[in-house]
Amino acid sequence: MLNRDIRVDLHIHSKASKYKESTDADGRSIVDESDSDHLDVLFRGLEKHGINLISITDHNRFDVDLYRAVNQMIASGRGGSVQAALPGIEFDVEFQPCHPQAHVIAIFDASEWNDDCDKWENDYRKIGEAIENNKLEDPEGKYTQSEFEAILKAIGKNVILIAHQHQSLTSTNVKKRSLSSATDDAEDLVRFKYIDALEYTSSKVEGILLSDLATLDVSTSTIVGSDCHTWSAYPKHDRGARERESFFSTIRALPTFKGLLMALTSPRTRFQQPDRPVNSSFLDHFTVNGVEVDLSPGINAIIGENGAGKSSLLEMMMTGGKQSQSHVKKLQQDNRIDMPKTLSGGDNVLYVRQNDLERRYWNKGGMFEESQYPQVDNSAFERKMRAWSASVKGAVKRHIQSKTLADRLATTSYVIKPQLEAGTYYPHIAKSEGFERVENPHKARLENINNALDILNSEMGSGYYKDDSQEKADLQTAISALCRISEVISSRSQRATKISEARNAVSLAISKYNSSIQPLQTAKDREKTDYQRKKSAVLDAVVEEARNACKPPVNIVPISLPAGAGTSENPSRGFKFVSTAAYSDNSEIAETFLAENMNVRFQTLEDVLKIQSTQEIEAAIPRRRQGDWEARWDSMVENFISDEEKMSRFIKGNSDRRVGNTLGEQSLTYYEYCSYQGSGIDVFVIDQPEDHISNARISKRLIGFFNRMRRDKQVILVTHSPLLVVNQDVDNVVCLKTEAGKMSVKSGCLEYGDILQEISQQMDGGTEAIKRRLRVYGEAV
């Protein structure tokens, strides 16, 4: 498991490099005292700076005896901070004729001293013999690329190649020993992993190289070493040299060839990593059959074949098994699985069960909680829709009234008879039709003004506006103006109401009086009364027609909504959670309403406004419910409003582009959102996050999201995807096996023990993922 860093210096020289170094007048060289007799001097310098992994990389030489002495010191506990030494050589290589040679450090995968001394001897002697058989004597000598590759082939070990690069990869300047000066194909050698890492000499050069690699979209490591020749001056090159600002690299890896290879193939997760936080929410271990299994505060991947108990283990972590299904409880009991704490019970732990996101997607239309999406204010739409509806109804009623009045005027008449003009003993009182009806157009206007006042008064009381601000003064001015308007309109409305009430009282009195005199009338009186009634009917028809003709036409109120109406956005962690009503992208709301609700021949506003009779309007509106045409119309309007206010919810990315249209895309968006800091999540537990996500997107996106999480969150995932284990470069792999109900566990980082072998055996595609990740010069590890 990876929880701490090691310091690495792979560029240290010894006396074996003497043939390349110049001597002083006394024949002394800067490497004369850098030999096995002075290893204690070197190790004191290394311990002073906390160096943990080294390599003695001499110029085109390999001193087996020196390496034996180094390993003996480390094994005896006299190595100080140094935990391991890897075999290496610094080669002079001519990659292209007529170009200066480059320095290339080769680090070999040889047997470890503590595992098998005899095998160690065999491997190291094979390296030494390959060099002796192709020994350079001339200090300016170099190997051609083919000679260099032949030596590597003769050694027959996996090897990491680190090329010196003291300037930009694209620079045309000639710098001695730099890869870019040695060949025109430097970029390709890096891009296609011939060269595994680039060695820089200063932070400035490191920054330049990192920029180059980002431009090339190549994930290649940059590394630094001391290039120390005089051990007593470590970490300086020699006693007279200045100390470099950087002379070691910090990586998160085991101090082995495999650990180094893991670090070089995943620089973003292994180099210069911040300290992991100590968080009481994290689960640091569990036990299976009495064996304690450690968990990393970073990314933990639980792998195993189907039925091994991976998902059940997550359930135990979350609930302690107390609320689990019977098979989970049995597995826990049979294997004495103990969790020192449970992860459930707090908002800082997020648990995504297998298929949980899929269920949310299909059942709820999205994976995020509804509280993430803002409410939409539909009041403007409702107001505009109802105002339009009222105006259309008013226009239709006006047209029906006009036609009715015109027909009435054409069919109403009386013959003037002077002998019937005289009054009766009991006079009959005639009243015009609609005498009681008094229109009150002020009522609706007053309601709108008072609604506006309520809104402004609520705004004034919000506490947003400062007491002496111009905004508050302007708001008070608007309120005062509306109050005055309200008073004027209220007076008009009250007057209309009183006139209506008075007329109703008079009408009732007239009806009662006319009824009371009927028994007292003579035949002649009744003839005169009938004559007066016909005469009044003609007068009423003329007056009503004249009054109707003087009314202004009914204006159809347009449904014009401001830009953005029906949509609301909630920005959060680089995303926008968007709620949008159906009407938000409909610029022809009225046309849609008529087309969807009216009967054929009446599905445009023009057709509706041609209606001139009650029979026509009754035929125009479907009889989906009981009631007259107005009731059915109002019902259609309210149902339409309800339908148009149905919400769609989606997410926008930084570019304002809609994301997460498919199940896989929304899953990626969900994980990306959770990966950002500030989510309030400390522990992220996921069962098979790769579901419905392509391998390409796992590699390009999902791995990046989890890598972001590892800095401040504990991630525990169950996965069948080798990409999320190998390419993800997880900090800890928990390998489960269950046979006959008994569970066994192996755990550790990728380079630990036979973890890679477990991945290869238990995961489909595991072997291929490992080969792609760990491809070096020679065979894959």
pLDDT tens-place string over residues 609-665: 999 999 999 999 998 878 899 999 999 999 999 999 999 888 988 778 888 778 899
Write out the DSSP string of 74-114: HHTT-STT--EE--EEEEEEE-STTS--EEEEEEE----TT
Q: Indicate if the pLDDT at residue 24 is higher than 70.
A: no
Q: Indicate if the pLDDT at residue 277 is higher than 70.
A: yes
| Mean pLDDT in residue range 109-134 | 94
Instruction: State residue 234's pLDDT score.
Output: 97
Residue 314: its H or E element: helix 310-319
CB 101 within 8 A of CB 177: yes
List, in sequence order, every beta strand (DSSP E) within 507-639: 567-572, 575-581
Q: Which of 60-64, 319-323, 375-379 has the lowest mean pLDDT?
A: 319-323
pLDDT, tens only, 218-265: 889 999 999 999 999 999 999 989 888 899 999 999 999 999 999 999
Q: What whole-number distance in Å separates Cα of residue 372 and Cα of residue 343?
A: 24
Instruction: State residue 150's pLDDT score.
Output: 97
Per-domain residue ranges for the chain? 6-270, 285-373+658-770, 427-520
Q: What whole-number distance in Å separates Cα of residue 321 and Cα of residue 370?
A: 30
Instruction: State residue 436's pLDDT score.
Output: 80
For the four alpha carbons of 395, 401, 404 and 407, in that order, the dihedral sign comes to negative
CB proximity list for 591: less than 8 A, separation 6 or greater? 604, 605
Q: Work out the pLDDT band at 775, boundaries 50, 70, 90.
A: low
Higher pLDDT, 771 or 139: 139
User: CATH says 6-270 is which class?
Assistant: alpha beta
User: Measuring CA to CA, how many Å separate 322 from each of 11, 290, 319, 344?
Assistant: 56, 20, 6, 12
Q: Is 684 left (phi over 0), alpha (psi -120 to 50) or beta?
A: beta
pTM recorded for the entire structure: 0.75
Q: Indicate if the pLDDT at residue 781 is higher than 50.
A: no
Tokens of 44: 């004191």
DSSP structural state of residue 278: P
User: Closest Cα to residue 116, out of 124, 107, 108?
Assistant: 124
CB proximity list for 447: less than 8 A, separation 6 or greater? none
User: Measuring CA to CA, how many Å separate 530 from each of 390, 410, 523, 774?
Assistant: 40, 20, 11, 113
Report the range out of 57-61, 187-191, 264-268 with the highest average pLDDT.
Answer: 57-61
CB proximity list for 509: less than 8 A, separation 6 or greater? none
Overall fold of domain 285-373+658-770:
Rossmann fold (3.40.50)
pLDDT, tens only, 728-748: 999 999 999 988 889 999 999
Q: Work out the pLDDT band at 25, boundaries 50, 70, 90.
A: low
Q: What whole-number distance in Å separates Cα of residue 496 and Cα of residue 718?
A: 76
Q: What whole-number distance in Å separates Cα of residue 498 and Cα of residue 537?
A: 26
User: Closest Cα to residue 525, out of 414, 413, 422, 417?
Assistant: 422
Tokens of 7: 């310091």
Tokens of 736: 């489960």
Q: What whole-number distance in Å separates Cα of residue 216 and Cα of residue 187?
A: 8
Phi, psi for 177 (deg, rounded to 5):
75, -5
> 3-state SS of 528-557?
HHHHHHHHHHHHHHHHHHHHHHHCCCCCCC
Q: Indicate if the pLDDT at residue 346 is higher than 80.
A: no
Q: Indicate if the pLDDT at residue 482 is higher than 50.
A: yes
For the four alpha carbons of 266, 268, 273 and 277, in that order, the dihedral sign comes to negative
Q: Work out the pLDDT band at 678, boundaries 50, 70, 90.
A: low
Pairing of strands 84-85, 53-59: parallel
Mean pLDDT over the full length of the chain: 90
Q: What whole-number distance in Å separates Cα of residue 732 and Cα of residue 755?
A: 10
Q: Indicate if the pLDDT at residue 510 is higher than 90.
A: no
Across-strand partners of 711? none
pLDDT, tens only, 32-57: 999 999 999 999 999 999 999 999 99
User: Closest Cα to residue 254, out of 246, 263, 244?
Assistant: 263
Across-strand partners of 249? 8
pLDDT, tens only, 73-91: 999 999 999 999 999 999 9
Q: What whole-number distance in Å separates Cα of residue 262 and Cα of residue 773?
A: 8
